[in-house]
A and B are shown apart, each in its own frame.
Chain A
Amino acid sequence: MKARAHPLWIAFVAHRVSGLALALFLPLHFWVLGMALRGAEGLDGVLTLTELPFVKVAEFGLVFLLALHAFGGLRLMALERLGWSSGQKTMAATSIALAIFVSGTFFLKAI
């Protein structure tokens, strides 16, 4: 079926793909964390890599995926667990989006 491009389907795919991508990242994450147990030298060696531009871009992608997956999960829980009407859900989503926009703007100005 080709015509799946409705918002809920896209939200479903975004949630699944971000979850899979984060799951793929986890072994690397634990490997780096595990280095801390074996001394500072190895960990610092890997952490210097985070100064590289492409690693910074990858970190941006990682935070983006985390945000996408976290909000996707909250959306799903609200959809399935709260007996709200669709109008109430739209208002809740709009107010959360506005709050993030306003607080994000202040945060970006602060740093």
Chain B
Amino acid sequence: MSSQKAERQLKVSVWRGADAGQFETFEVPQHDSQTVLDIVSWIQHNADPTLSYRFACRVGMCGSCAMMVNDEPRWTCRTHVNKVARDGELKIGPLRNLPVVKDLATDMDPFFDKWTAAEAHHHPSADRHDLMAPVDMQSADRVAANTAIECINCAVCYAACDTVAGNPDYLGPAALQRAWTLIKDEKDSGREDILAAISGTGGCHNCHSIGSCTQYCPNELDPLSAIANLKRETVKNWWKRNA
């Protein structure tokens, strides 16, 4: 029985090249509990050592192994082959909406540059001589921020976003969601800078609320709602300033 299982073969199409390239097909032995990352590693170890891809933790913690699996963005380390293979076939490509360095490895610079552009980094409100700011874990702002802080920058939402595909200047769901958590963080003093950064060109008002970010987030976060919250926050801010 087990030898029969070991003989099962999967036909895997893998993207080769950079932005210009083509899919190359490999025959890979299929096993139980096999992840898509296992498939990619098998190809590199046994069929073609020149295959380039990126991974680190293999357990859904680092966010570096995201790829397009059958044209959907996924963490490959947490995606079981039996759940995604159709008729013994699998298609694996580099993340959408990012330049391809080689094969399955994308250039993540545009993604992280947009985090910076969205002011999605900590703005200190105290220095080392000050006491730590007390944070009430039950406060409405903290509860709101807590819904969005588990993002690990895997760029699955960014690859799923049709607005990013149509507008390369759009900051994207991940950067905007992080900006939202900082606006609700009482230790962050950059509220005005963040609101200015996310309400300009490429900001939150570009979002068409298509919701693919929330649909595909492997951590089950909800960037769609975070962006809607930002839209409300910018409108409230505008009224406050102009009232």
A residues lining the B interface (CB < 8 Å): 1-4, 6, 8-9, 12, 76, 79-81, 83, 86
Determine whether the beta carbon of B210 is less than 8 Å from that of A1.
Answer: no
Determine whether the beta carbon of B211 is less than 8 Å from that of A1.
Answer: no
B residues lining the A interface (CB < 8 Å): 68, 70-73, 96, 159-160, 162, 208-212, 214-215, 222, 224-225, 228-229, 231-232
- Residue from A4, A76, A81 having most chain B Cβ neighbours under 10 A: A4
Determine whether the beta carbon of B232 is less than 8 Å from that of A8.
Answer: no
Q: How far is the CB of B39 from chain A (nearest CB, A)?
A: 19
Determine whether the beta carbon of A3 is less than 8 Å from that of B210.
Answer: no
Q: Which residue of chain B has its CB nearest to the CB of A13?
A: B210
Alpha-carbon separation in the docked complex, A80 to B210 (Å): 12
Determine whether the beta carbon of A1 is less than 8 Å from that of B72.
Answer: yes
Determine whether the beta carbon of B210 is less than 8 Å from that of A9.
Answer: yes
Alpha-carbon separation in the docked complex, A18 to B73 (Å): 29
Q: Which residue of chain B has its CB nearest to the CB of A81?
A: B232
Indicate whether A83 sits within 8 Å of B232 (C-beta atoms), given known contacts A6-B212, A6-B215, A76-B209: yes
With A1-B159, A81-B232 given, name 18 new contacts (CB 8 A): A1-B68, A1-B96, A1-B162, A2-B71, A3-B71, A6-B211, A6-B212, A6-B215, A8-B209, A8-B210, A8-B211, A9-B212, A9-B215, A12-B209, A76-B209, A80-B228, A80-B232, A81-B228
Contacts of B228 in A (CB 8 A): 79-81
Prevailing SS type, chain A contact patch: helix
Alpha-carbon separation in the docked complex, A8 to B216 (Å): 12
Closest CB pairs A-B (n = 10): A8-B211, A2-B71, A3-B72, A12-B210, A80-B228, A6-B215, A1-B71, A9-B210, A80-B231, A79-B209
> Can you list 27 A-B pairs, Cβ within 8 angstroms, ordered by A?
A1-B72, A1-B73, A1-B96, A1-B162, A2-B70, A2-B71, A2-B72, A3-B70, A4-B162, A8-B209, A8-B210, A8-B212, A9-B162, A9-B211, A9-B215, A12-B208, A12-B210, A12-B211, A76-B209, A79-B209, A80-B231, A80-B232, A81-B231, A81-B232, A83-B229, A83-B232, A86-B225
Q: Which residue of chain B has its CB nearest to the CB of A1?
A: B71
Contacts of B232 in A (CB 8 A): 80-81, 83
Contacts of B225 in A (CB 8 A): 86
Alpha-carbon separation in the docked complex, A2 to B214 (Å): 17
Contacts of A9 in B (CB 8 A): 162, 210-212, 215
Contacts of A76 in B (CB 8 A): 209
Q: Which residue of chain A has its CB nearest to the CB of B69?
A: A3
Contacts of A79 in B (CB 8 A): 209, 228
- Residue from B70, B96, B211 having most chain A Cβ neighbours under 10 A: B211
Determine whether the beta carbon of B211 is less than 8 Å from that of A80.
Answer: no
